[in-house]
């Protein structure tokens, strides 16, 4: 794993980057010139009053935020809350085979589908349909085999529990 990777340095900025940069510069220069026009007639005393007012307002607001965060009322910014361990921390979310019921109808549908697909694969006319199904759904037959195997295992476990 490389920590320090040389990055590609572009010699020429793109046209879009140049356009964005020039537009940003134009807006920045326009704002600066408008602000200079507005404050052209301010004296040193006015600037000093504006500075003092700004510092007083911002420092007052910061002190207010600091004090209100430590007050005991319900709307404080800093809350101290105990961390609680979740009740179901040891549960994985997986269901166990004994909870599942396998119906015979589901098993029969899977087996009939497997037989139907096998019959399509064996006949020359059905081979075209079979190939199109397999090309559109490549893992279909693997899934069917997995389901058949899974249902068989569940049946065996259910029969073993009955005994």
Structure confidence by residue, pLDDT tens digits, 22-50: 999 999 999 999 999 999 999 999 999 99
| Same-domain status, 107 and 149 | yes
Q: What is the pTM of this model?
A: 0.38
1 pLDDT above the threshold of 80: no
| Same-domain status, 26 and 63 | yes
Give me the pLDDT at residue 23, please: 95
Residue 60 lies in a domain: yes
Between CA 50 and CA 56, with CA 52 as vertex, the angle to 5 degrees is 115
| Same-domain status, 101 and 158 | yes
For the chain, what is the domain count?
A: 2
Residue ranges of the alpha helices (H) in 72-139? 104-122, 124-136
pLDDT digit string, tens, across residues 44-65: 999 999 999 999 999 999 998 8
Residue 92 lies in a domain: no
pLDDT digit string, tens, across residues 69-120: 777 665 655 667 888 887 777 777 666 555 556 678 888 888 899 999 999 8
Domain boundary among 70, 86, 112: 70
Residue 77 lies in a domain: no
Domain of residue 123: give its range. 97-162
Q: Which two tokens stand for residue 57?
A: 């307002």
Residue 86 lies in a domain: no
| Same-domain status, 107 and 145 | yes
Between CA 47 and CA 55 the distance in angstroms is 12
């Amino acid at each position: 794993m490389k920590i320090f990777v040389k990055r590609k340095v572009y010699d020429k900025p793109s046209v879009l980057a140049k356009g964005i940069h020039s537009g940003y510069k134009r807006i920045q220069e326009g704002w600066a010139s408008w602000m200079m026009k507005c404050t052209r007639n301010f004296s040193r005393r006015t600037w000093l009053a504006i500075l003092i007012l700004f510092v007083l307002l911002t420092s007052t607001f910061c002190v207010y935020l600091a004090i209100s965060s430590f007050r005991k009322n319900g709307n404080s910014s800093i809350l101290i809350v105990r961390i609680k361990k979740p009740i179901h921390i040891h549960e994985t979310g997986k269901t166990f085979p004994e909870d599942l019921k396998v119906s015979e109808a589901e098993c029969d549908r899977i087996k009939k589908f497997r037989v139907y697909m096998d019959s399509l694969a064996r006949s020359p006319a059905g081979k075209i349909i079979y190939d199109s199904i397999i090309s559109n759904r490549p893992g279909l037959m693997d899934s069917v085999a997995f389901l058949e195997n899974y249902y068989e295992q569940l049946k065996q476990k259910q029969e073993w529990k009955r005994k």
